[in-house]
Structure 1
Amino acid sequence: MNEYLLMFADAVFGFVALFVLVKVLGKTQISSLTPFDFISAVIIGELVGNALFEKESGIPEIAFLITLWGTMLYITELITQKYKGSRHILEGRPSMVIHKGHIVYDELKQNRLDIDELQHMLRSKDVFSVEEVEYAILEADGTVSVLRKPEYQTPTNADLNVSPKPVKIGRVVISDGEIVWDNLKEANLSQTWLEEELHRQNIQSVRDVFYAEWQENQQKLFIALYHYKPEQKD
Protein backbone atom coordinates (compact mmCIF):
# COMPACT_ATOMS: atom_id res chain seq x y z
CA MET A 1 0.00 0.00 0.00
CA ASN A 2 2.82 2.42 0.83
CA GLU A 3 4.28 1.83 -2.62
CA TYR A 4 1.02 2.88 -4.29
CA LEU A 5 0.76 5.96 -2.10
CA LEU A 6 4.27 6.98 -3.12
CA MET A 7 3.43 6.45 -6.80
CA PHE A 8 0.27 8.52 -6.33
CA ALA A 9 2.19 11.34 -4.68
CA ASP A 10 4.87 11.27 -7.41
CA ALA A 11 2.28 11.32 -10.18
CA VAL A 12 0.35 14.23 -8.65
CA PHE A 13 3.52 16.21 -8.09
CA GLY A 14 4.74 15.50 -11.64
CA PHE A 15 1.39 16.65 -13.05
CA VAL A 16 1.39 19.88 -11.06
CA ALA A 17 5.05 20.57 -11.86
CA LEU A 18 4.51 20.10 -15.61
CA PHE A 19 1.42 22.33 -15.46
CA VAL A 20 3.42 25.09 -13.78
CA LEU A 21 6.26 24.62 -16.29
CA VAL A 22 3.90 25.11 -19.24
CA LYS A 23 2.46 28.23 -17.62
CA VAL A 24 5.93 29.68 -17.02
CA LEU A 25 7.20 28.95 -20.55
CA GLY A 26 4.08 30.44 -22.13
CA LYS A 27 1.57 29.44 -24.77
CA THR A 28 4.06 29.71 -27.63
CA GLN A 29 5.60 26.42 -26.56
CA ILE A 30 2.36 24.75 -27.63
CA SER A 31 1.04 26.98 -30.43
CA SER A 32 4.35 27.21 -32.32
CA LEU A 33 5.83 23.77 -31.85
CA THR A 34 9.24 23.77 -33.53
CA PRO A 35 11.27 20.54 -33.88
CA PHE A 36 13.34 21.61 -30.87
CA ASP A 37 10.18 22.18 -28.81
CA PHE A 38 8.84 18.78 -29.84
CA ILE A 39 12.03 17.02 -28.77
CA SER A 40 11.99 18.97 -25.49
CA ALA A 41 8.42 17.86 -24.78
CA VAL A 42 9.30 14.22 -25.48
CA ILE A 43 12.36 14.38 -23.22
CA ILE A 44 10.36 15.97 -20.38
CA GLY A 45 7.80 13.18 -20.68
CA GLU A 46 10.54 10.55 -20.62
CA LEU A 47 12.25 12.12 -17.61
CA VAL A 48 9.05 12.30 -15.59
CA GLY A 49 7.92 8.83 -16.71
CA ASN A 50 11.20 7.20 -15.78
CA ALA A 51 11.29 8.99 -12.45
CA LEU A 52 7.77 7.78 -11.63
CA PHE A 53 8.59 4.12 -12.18
CA GLU A 54 12.05 4.12 -10.65
CA LYS A 55 11.83 2.89 -7.07
CA GLU A 56 14.86 4.93 -6.08
CA SER A 57 13.33 8.13 -7.47
CA GLY A 58 10.81 10.30 -5.69
CA ILE A 59 9.47 13.82 -5.54
CA PRO A 60 12.89 15.47 -5.03
CA GLU A 61 14.30 13.72 -8.13
CA ILE A 62 11.26 14.65 -10.24
CA ALA A 63 11.43 18.24 -9.03
CA PHE A 64 15.13 18.44 -9.84
CA LEU A 65 14.69 17.06 -13.37
CA ILE A 66 11.74 19.28 -14.25
CA THR A 67 13.38 22.36 -12.74
CA LEU A 68 16.65 21.69 -14.56
CA TRP A 69 15.07 21.07 -17.95
CA GLY A 70 12.59 23.92 -17.51
CA THR A 71 15.43 26.28 -16.65
CA MET A 72 17.35 25.29 -19.77
CA LEU A 73 14.24 25.83 -21.91
CA TYR A 74 13.63 29.20 -20.27
CA ILE A 75 17.23 30.28 -20.85
CA THR A 76 16.90 29.20 -24.48
CA GLU A 77 13.80 31.38 -24.86
CA LEU A 78 15.62 34.35 -23.32
CA ILE A 79 18.57 33.87 -25.68
CA THR A 80 16.33 33.79 -28.77
CA GLN A 81 14.51 36.93 -27.61
CA LYS A 82 17.67 38.90 -26.83
CA TYR A 83 19.97 37.72 -29.64
CA LYS A 84 18.25 37.63 -33.00
CA GLY A 85 21.15 35.80 -34.65
CA SER A 86 20.52 32.74 -32.48
CA ARG A 87 16.90 32.29 -33.56
CA HIS A 88 17.56 30.46 -36.83
CA ILE A 89 19.87 28.05 -34.97
CA LEU A 90 17.59 27.29 -32.02
CA GLU A 91 14.16 27.77 -33.59
CA GLY A 92 14.83 27.33 -37.29
CA ARG A 93 13.92 29.83 -39.98
CA PRO A 94 11.23 30.01 -42.67
CA SER A 95 12.05 28.74 -46.16
CA MET A 96 10.45 30.08 -49.33
CA VAL A 97 9.54 26.93 -51.25
CA ILE A 98 7.56 28.73 -53.98
CA HIS A 99 8.87 32.08 -55.24
CA LYS A 100 6.98 34.12 -57.85
CA GLY A 101 5.09 31.05 -58.96
CA HIS A 102 8.17 28.82 -59.28
CA ILE A 103 8.93 25.88 -57.01
CA VAL A 104 12.35 26.32 -55.41
CA TYR A 105 13.80 22.83 -55.65
CA ASP A 106 16.87 23.61 -53.53
CA GLU A 107 14.67 24.69 -50.60
CA LEU A 108 12.57 21.55 -50.91
CA LYS A 109 15.68 19.39 -50.93
CA GLN A 110 17.24 21.23 -47.98
CA ASN A 111 14.08 20.76 -45.90
CA ARG A 112 13.67 17.14 -47.06
CA LEU A 113 10.27 17.93 -48.55
CA ASP A 114 9.02 16.20 -51.69
CA ILE A 115 6.39 17.47 -54.11
CA ASP A 116 3.67 15.18 -52.74
CA GLU A 117 4.17 16.54 -49.22
CA LEU A 118 4.12 20.09 -50.56
CA GLN A 119 0.84 19.45 -52.39
CA HIS A 120 -0.66 17.98 -49.22
CA MET A 121 0.32 21.08 -47.25
CA LEU A 122 -1.12 23.35 -49.93
CA ARG A 123 -4.40 21.44 -49.92
CA SER A 124 -4.62 22.02 -46.17
CA LYS A 125 -4.71 25.72 -47.10
CA ASP A 126 -7.51 25.12 -49.65
CA VAL A 127 -5.09 25.38 -52.56
CA PHE A 128 -5.53 22.47 -54.97
CA SER A 129 -3.20 23.59 -57.72
CA VAL A 130 0.40 24.80 -57.51
CA GLU A 131 -0.42 27.13 -60.40
CA GLU A 132 -2.51 29.28 -58.04
CA VAL A 133 0.43 30.02 -55.73
CA GLU A 134 2.63 33.09 -56.02
CA TYR A 135 4.55 32.56 -52.77
CA ALA A 136 4.65 29.68 -50.29
CA ILE A 137 6.73 29.78 -47.11
CA LEU A 138 7.57 26.73 -45.03
CA GLU A 139 7.46 27.99 -41.45
CA ALA A 140 9.76 26.86 -38.64
CA ASP A 141 6.95 24.85 -37.02
CA GLY A 142 6.41 22.82 -40.21
CA THR A 143 3.30 24.58 -41.48
CA VAL A 144 3.09 26.41 -44.80
CA SER A 145 1.89 29.97 -45.43
CA VAL A 146 0.47 30.68 -48.86
CA LEU A 147 -0.07 33.84 -50.92
CA ARG A 148 -2.13 33.22 -54.04
CA LYS A 149 -1.60 34.89 -57.40
CA PRO A 150 -3.78 37.99 -57.84
CA GLU A 151 -6.20 36.27 -60.21
CA TYR A 152 -6.87 33.54 -57.64
CA GLN A 153 -7.26 35.76 -54.57
CA THR A 154 -10.64 36.34 -52.97
CA PRO A 155 -11.60 40.01 -53.46
CA THR A 156 -11.95 42.12 -50.31
CA ASN A 157 -14.46 44.86 -49.54
CA ALA A 158 -11.77 47.40 -50.42
CA ASP A 159 -11.25 45.76 -53.83
CA LEU A 160 -15.00 45.87 -54.52
CA ASN A 161 -15.36 49.39 -53.07
CA VAL A 162 -17.96 48.13 -50.60
CA SER A 163 -18.44 49.86 -47.27
CA PRO A 164 -17.36 47.47 -44.51
CA LYS A 165 -19.79 46.48 -41.77
CA PRO A 166 -18.84 46.09 -38.11
CA VAL A 167 -17.66 42.57 -37.34
CA LYS A 168 -19.41 40.86 -34.44
CA ILE A 169 -18.76 37.38 -33.16
CA GLY A 170 -21.38 34.68 -32.77
CA ARG A 171 -22.30 33.85 -29.18
CA VAL A 172 -23.18 30.38 -27.96
CA VAL A 173 -26.42 30.75 -25.98
CA ILE A 174 -27.28 27.04 -25.61
CA SER A 175 -24.75 24.26 -25.20
CA ASP A 176 -25.73 20.63 -24.68
CA GLY A 177 -29.26 21.46 -23.56
CA GLU A 178 -28.19 24.17 -21.11
CA ILE A 179 -28.46 27.96 -21.43
CA VAL A 180 -25.13 29.79 -21.39
CA TRP A 181 -26.25 32.65 -19.20
CA ASP A 182 -23.11 34.79 -19.50
CA ASN A 183 -23.26 34.87 -23.29
CA LEU A 184 -27.01 35.48 -23.25
CA LYS A 185 -26.47 38.48 -20.97
CA GLU A 186 -23.56 39.86 -23.03
CA ALA A 187 -25.73 39.70 -26.15
CA ASN A 188 -28.46 41.69 -24.31
CA LEU A 189 -30.91 38.83 -24.76
CA SER A 190 -33.41 37.46 -22.26
CA GLN A 191 -34.61 33.98 -21.42
CA THR A 192 -38.09 34.99 -22.53
CA TRP A 193 -36.80 36.03 -25.94
CA LEU A 194 -34.84 32.79 -26.26
CA GLU A 195 -37.85 30.63 -25.42
CA GLU A 196 -40.04 32.57 -27.85
CA GLU A 197 -37.42 32.14 -30.58
CA LEU A 198 -37.31 28.39 -29.93
CA HIS A 199 -41.08 28.15 -30.13
CA ARG A 200 -41.05 30.13 -33.38
CA GLN A 201 -38.77 27.43 -34.80
CA ASN A 202 -41.09 24.67 -33.48
CA ILE A 203 -38.79 23.67 -30.61
CA GLN A 204 -40.55 23.00 -27.34
CA SER A 205 -37.70 23.02 -24.82
CA VAL A 206 -34.13 24.18 -24.32
CA ARG A 207 -33.26 20.59 -23.43
CA ASP A 208 -34.02 19.57 -27.02
CA VAL A 209 -31.24 21.85 -28.34
CA PHE A 210 -27.69 20.56 -28.64
CA TYR A 211 -26.20 23.89 -29.78
CA ALA A 212 -27.57 27.37 -30.41
CA GLU A 213 -25.63 30.42 -31.55
CA TRP A 214 -26.84 34.00 -31.74
CA GLN A 215 -25.44 35.47 -34.96
CA GLU A 216 -25.55 39.19 -34.29
CA ASN A 217 -24.38 40.22 -37.75
CA GLN A 218 -27.37 38.49 -39.33
CA GLN A 219 -29.70 38.97 -36.36
CA LYS A 220 -30.71 35.33 -36.30
CA LEU A 221 -30.44 32.32 -34.03
CA PHE A 222 -28.75 29.23 -35.45
CA ILE A 223 -30.00 26.03 -33.82
CA ALA A 224 -28.69 22.47 -34.01
CA LEU A 225 -30.79 19.74 -32.41
CA TYR A 226 -29.55 16.42 -31.12
CA HIS A 227 -28.94 14.16 -34.08
CA TYR A 228 -28.09 10.52 -33.65
CA LYS A 229 -26.61 8.10 -36.14
CA PRO A 230 -29.43 5.98 -37.59
CA GLU A 231 -29.39 2.36 -36.59
CA GLN A 232 -28.20 0.01 -39.29
CA LYS A 233 -30.48 -2.89 -40.07
CA ASP A 234 -28.98 -6.33 -40.42
Structure 2
Amino acid sequence: MEYVHLVVELTIGFAALFLMTKILGKTQFAQITPFDFISALILGEMVGNAIFDEDVTIWKVLFAILVWAILIYSIEVLSQKVQNTRGFLEGRPSIVINKGKIDYNALKKNKLDLNQLQTLAREKGCFSLNEIQYAILETDGSISVLPKHKYGMPTNEDLNIPYKPVQLPVPVILDGQLEKNNLHEAGFDELWLQNQLSSQGITQYQDVLYAEWRGDEGQLYITTY
Protein backbone atom coordinates (compact mmCIF):
# COMPACT_ATOMS: atom_id res chain seq x y z
CA MET A 1 0.00 0.00 0.00
CA GLU A 2 2.91 2.32 0.75
CA TYR A 3 4.28 1.86 -2.76
CA VAL A 4 0.88 2.54 -4.30
CA HIS A 5 0.67 5.77 -2.31
CA LEU A 6 4.16 6.72 -3.53
CA VAL A 7 3.17 6.10 -7.15
CA VAL A 8 0.05 8.23 -6.71
CA GLU A 9 2.05 11.11 -5.19
CA LEU A 10 4.67 10.95 -7.94
CA THR A 11 2.01 10.90 -10.63
CA ILE A 12 0.09 13.83 -9.15
CA GLY A 13 3.29 15.82 -8.59
CA PHE A 14 4.51 15.15 -12.13
CA ALA A 15 1.13 16.06 -13.63
CA ALA A 16 0.97 19.31 -11.63
CA LEU A 17 4.48 20.39 -12.63
CA PHE A 18 3.91 19.42 -16.26
CA LEU A 19 0.63 21.34 -16.36
CA MET A 20 2.23 24.39 -14.80
CA THR A 21 5.07 24.28 -17.33
CA LYS A 22 2.65 24.05 -20.24
CA ILE A 23 0.54 26.94 -18.94
CA LEU A 24 3.53 29.19 -18.32
CA GLY A 25 5.06 28.32 -21.69
CA LYS A 26 8.58 27.77 -20.42
CA THR A 27 11.50 27.79 -22.80
CA GLN A 28 13.84 24.92 -23.42
CA PHE A 29 16.58 24.26 -20.86
CA ALA A 30 19.30 25.85 -22.97
CA GLN A 31 17.38 29.13 -22.78
CA ILE A 32 16.40 29.28 -19.11
CA THR A 33 17.21 32.36 -17.10
CA PRO A 34 18.62 32.31 -13.54
CA PHE A 35 15.08 32.90 -12.26
CA ASP A 36 13.79 29.86 -14.18
CA PHE A 37 16.60 27.73 -12.73
CA ILE A 38 15.74 28.76 -9.16
CA SER A 39 12.07 28.04 -9.83
CA ALA A 40 12.89 24.53 -11.05
CA LEU A 41 14.94 23.80 -7.91
CA ILE A 42 12.20 24.99 -5.56
CA LEU A 43 9.43 23.10 -7.36
CA GLY A 44 11.50 19.92 -7.34
CA GLU A 45 12.08 20.33 -3.60
CA MET A 46 8.34 20.75 -3.04
CA VAL A 47 7.50 17.48 -4.76
CA GLY A 48 10.38 15.73 -2.98
CA ASN A 49 9.03 16.83 0.40
CA ALA A 50 5.61 15.45 -0.45
CA ILE A 51 7.11 12.06 -1.31
CA PHE A 52 9.52 11.56 1.57
CA ASP A 53 8.05 13.68 4.37
CA GLU A 54 4.94 12.07 5.83
CA ASP A 55 3.92 15.34 7.51
CA VAL A 56 3.64 17.06 4.13
CA THR A 57 0.59 15.94 2.17
CA ILE A 58 0.36 16.05 -1.60
CA TRP A 59 -2.50 18.57 -1.31
CA LYS A 60 -0.27 21.01 0.55
CA VAL A 61 2.31 20.61 -2.18
CA LEU A 62 -0.29 21.19 -4.89
CA PHE A 63 -1.35 24.37 -3.10
CA ALA A 64 2.29 25.47 -2.86
CA ILE A 65 2.80 24.74 -6.57
CA LEU A 66 -0.30 26.79 -7.40
CA VAL A 67 0.92 29.76 -5.34
CA TRP A 68 4.40 29.49 -6.86
CA ALA A 69 2.92 29.29 -10.37
CA ILE A 70 0.93 32.46 -9.73
CA LEU A 71 4.10 34.23 -8.54
CA ILE A 72 6.07 33.08 -11.59
CA TYR A 73 3.26 34.07 -13.95
CA SER A 74 2.99 37.48 -12.30
CA ILE A 75 6.71 38.07 -12.69
CA GLU A 76 6.62 36.92 -16.34
CA VAL A 77 3.78 39.35 -17.06
CA LEU A 78 5.61 42.11 -15.18
CA SER A 79 8.77 41.59 -17.23
CA GLN A 80 6.74 41.72 -20.46
CA LYS A 81 4.76 44.81 -19.52
CA VAL A 82 7.44 46.82 -17.70
CA GLN A 83 10.63 46.95 -19.72
CA ASN A 84 12.76 48.31 -16.87
CA THR A 85 12.30 45.08 -14.87
CA ARG A 86 13.69 42.77 -17.57
CA GLY A 87 17.32 43.46 -16.83
CA PHE A 88 16.88 42.62 -13.15
CA LEU A 89 14.70 39.52 -13.65
CA GLU A 90 16.23 38.06 -16.81
CA GLY A 91 19.67 39.64 -16.94
CA ARG A 92 21.19 41.67 -19.76
CA PRO A 93 23.42 40.64 -22.66
CA SER A 94 27.03 41.73 -22.25
CA ILE A 95 29.57 42.55 -24.97
CA VAL A 96 32.71 40.56 -24.13
CA ILE A 97 34.56 41.25 -27.39
CA ASN A 98 34.12 44.78 -28.72
CA LYS A 99 35.58 45.87 -32.08
CA GLY A 100 37.92 42.88 -32.05
CA LYS A 101 39.23 43.57 -28.54
CA ILE A 102 38.50 41.37 -25.51
CA ASP A 103 36.77 43.33 -22.75
CA TYR A 104 38.43 42.03 -19.58
CA ASN A 105 36.10 43.98 -17.30
CA ALA A 106 33.05 42.42 -18.96
CA LEU A 107 34.57 38.94 -18.53
CA LYS A 108 35.30 39.63 -14.87
CA LYS A 109 31.81 41.00 -14.25
CA ASN A 110 30.21 37.88 -15.74
CA LYS A 111 32.62 35.45 -13.98
CA LEU A 112 33.88 34.21 -17.36
CA ASP A 113 37.50 33.24 -17.99
CA LEU A 114 39.34 33.04 -21.31
CA ASN A 115 39.15 29.25 -21.50
CA GLN A 116 35.38 29.39 -21.17
CA LEU A 117 35.20 32.16 -23.76
CA GLN A 118 37.28 30.07 -26.18
CA THR A 119 34.97 27.09 -25.64
CA LEU A 120 31.88 29.18 -26.34
CA ALA A 121 33.54 30.65 -29.44
CA ARG A 122 34.43 27.19 -30.79
CA GLU A 123 30.79 26.17 -30.42
CA LYS A 124 30.03 29.00 -32.86
CA GLY A 125 32.70 27.81 -35.29
CA CYS A 126 35.33 30.40 -34.31
CA PHE A 127 38.57 28.64 -33.33
CA SER A 128 40.49 31.87 -32.82
CA LEU A 129 39.32 34.84 -30.76
CA ASN A 130 41.21 37.00 -33.24
CA GLU A 131 38.56 36.16 -35.87
CA ILE A 132 35.80 37.83 -33.84
CA GLN A 133 34.75 41.46 -34.25
CA TYR A 134 31.94 41.32 -31.69
CA ALA A 135 30.92 38.65 -29.17
CA ILE A 136 27.86 39.07 -26.96
CA LEU A 137 27.32 36.94 -23.87
CA GLU A 138 23.58 36.20 -23.82
CA THR A 139 21.43 35.80 -20.71
CA ASP A 140 21.27 32.01 -21.19
CA GLY A 141 25.08 31.69 -21.03
CA SER A 142 25.71 31.26 -24.75
CA ILE A 143 27.45 33.79 -26.99
CA SER A 144 26.45 35.40 -30.26
CA VAL A 145 29.37 36.05 -32.60
CA LEU A 146 29.90 38.52 -35.43
CA PRO A 147 33.17 37.60 -37.19
CA LYS A 148 35.56 40.11 -38.72
CA HIS A 149 34.88 40.90 -42.36
CA LYS A 150 37.70 38.79 -43.79
CA TYR A 151 36.56 35.76 -41.77
CA GLY A 152 32.86 36.08 -42.60
CA MET A 153 31.09 33.58 -44.83
CA PRO A 154 30.36 34.83 -48.38
CA THR A 155 26.69 35.31 -49.25
CA ASN A 156 24.90 34.15 -52.38
CA GLU A 157 24.93 37.76 -53.55
CA ASP A 158 28.71 37.93 -53.10
CA LEU A 159 29.05 34.80 -55.26
CA ASN A 160 26.52 36.04 -57.85
CA ILE A 161 24.29 33.01 -57.32
CA PRO A 162 20.80 33.55 -58.85
CA TYR A 163 17.91 33.97 -56.44
CA LYS A 164 15.98 30.80 -55.67
CA PRO A 165 12.96 30.58 -53.33
CA VAL A 166 13.60 28.62 -50.14
CA GLN A 167 10.90 26.30 -48.81
CA LEU A 168 10.63 24.44 -45.53
CA PRO A 169 11.24 20.68 -45.79
CA VAL A 170 8.12 18.67 -44.90
CA PRO A 171 8.53 15.37 -42.96
CA VAL A 172 5.94 12.91 -44.28
CA ILE A 173 7.07 9.76 -42.43
CA LEU A 174 8.56 9.69 -38.91
CA ASP A 175 9.60 6.44 -37.22
CA GLY A 176 7.52 4.39 -39.63
CA GLN A 177 4.37 6.46 -39.06
CA LEU A 178 2.64 8.45 -41.80
CA GLU A 179 2.25 12.18 -41.10
CA LYS A 180 -1.03 12.75 -42.96
CA ASN A 181 -1.36 16.46 -42.21
CA ASN A 182 2.16 17.15 -43.43
CA LEU A 183 1.58 15.08 -46.57
CA HIS A 184 -1.56 17.06 -47.41
CA GLU A 185 0.22 20.36 -46.69
CA ALA A 186 2.85 19.36 -49.22
CA GLY A 187 0.05 18.91 -51.76
CA PHE A 188 0.13 15.12 -52.09
CA ASP A 189 -1.97 12.12 -51.14
CA GLU A 190 -1.15 8.61 -49.92
CA LEU A 191 -1.32 7.13 -53.42
CA TRP A 192 1.46 9.45 -54.57
CA LEU A 193 3.57 8.58 -51.53
CA GLN A 194 3.04 4.84 -52.00
CA ASN A 195 4.13 5.14 -55.63
CA GLN A 196 7.27 6.98 -54.52
CA LEU A 197 8.07 4.27 -51.99
CA SER A 198 7.34 1.46 -54.45
CA SER A 199 9.80 2.97 -56.94
CA GLN A 200 12.50 2.35 -54.33
CA GLY A 201 11.31 -1.14 -53.43
CA ILE A 202 9.57 -0.13 -50.19
CA THR A 203 6.16 -1.70 -49.59
CA GLN A 204 5.12 -0.31 -46.19
CA TYR A 205 5.58 2.79 -44.07
CA GLN A 206 7.00 0.75 -41.19
CA ASP A 207 10.18 0.16 -43.20
CA VAL A 208 10.89 3.90 -43.39
CA LEU A 209 12.73 5.65 -40.56
CA TYR A 210 12.35 9.13 -42.06
CA ALA A 211 10.97 10.59 -45.27
CA GLU A 212 11.11 14.27 -46.15
CA TRP A 213 9.72 16.24 -49.09
CA ARG A 214 11.92 19.09 -50.32
CA GLY A 215 9.70 21.40 -52.36
CA ASP A 216 12.53 23.65 -53.54
CA GLU A 217 14.32 20.62 -54.99
CA GLY A 218 11.20 18.70 -56.02
CA GLN A 219 12.51 15.54 -54.41
CA LEU A 220 11.50 13.07 -51.70
CA TYR A 221 14.35 11.95 -49.43
CA ILE A 222 13.88 8.55 -47.81
CA THR A 223 15.87 6.88 -45.03
CA THR A 224 15.06 3.27 -44.15
CA TYR A 225 15.85 1.33 -40.98
Could you state the TM-score of these two structures normalised by the residue count of structure 2? 0.88
Superposed, 1:107-118 pairs within 5 Å as 107-118=106-117
CA contact 2:35–2:89 (8 Å) conserved in 1: yes
Matched residues in 1 for 2:172 and 2:75: separation?
43
Q: Hey, what's the Cα distance between the residues in 2 that align with 1:208 and 1:85?
A: 55
Cα root mean square deviation, aligned: 2.2
Q: Secondary structure at the match of 1:145?
A: strand
**What is the aligned length?**
225
Of the structure 1 ranges 139-148 and 47-56, higher mean CA displacement relative to structure 2 is found in 47-56
How many Å separate the matches in 2 of 1:79 and 1:190? 47
Superimposed CA distance per residue, residues 127-166 of structure 1 (whole angstroms, 9 cap, x where no aligned partner): 2221221111001111111111222222334445555322
- 2:120 alignment partner in structure 1: 121
Q: Deviations over 1:73-109 (max 9, x none)?
A: 2232233233333322222111101111111111111
Which residue of 2 is the match for residue 180 of structure 1?
A: 179
Specify the alignment match of 2:140 in structure 1: 141
Partner of 1:191: 190
TM-aligned CA deviation for residue 68 of structure 1: 2.4
Alignment map for 1:1-234 (pairs within 5 Å) = 1=1, 3-28=2-27, 30=29, 32-160=31-159, 162-226=161-225
Q: Secondary structure at 2:54's aligned position in 1?
A: coil
TM-score (normalised: structure 1): 0.85
Report the CA distance shift for 1:197/1:82 in structure 2 as closer, same or farther (over 3 A).
closer
**Counterpart-to-counterpart distance in 2, 1:21 and 1:192:** 42
Q: Give the Å deviation of 1:204.
A: 4.8
Write the deviation string for residues 158-215 of structure 1: whole angstroms up to 9, x where unpaired: 4455553222111112222333222222212233332332343344544332211111
Against the structure 1 CA distance between its residues 180 and 77, is the aligned structure 2 distance closer, same or farther, given a 3 Å change threshold? closer
1:208 is aligned with what amino acid? D
Q: Which runs of 5+ in 2 are unaligned?
A: none
For residues 204 and 50 of structure 2, what CA distance do their matches in structure 1 show? Answer: 52
- Partner in structure 2 of residue 230 of structure 1: none
CA contact (8 A) 2:30 2:140 kept: no
CA deviations 1:30-49 (Å, max 9, x no partner) are 56301221121111101111
Q: Which amino acid aligns with 2:206?
A: R
Contact 1:176 1:209 in 2 (8 A): yes
**Can you give the 5+ residue segments of structure 1 that lack an aligned partner in the other structure?**
227-234
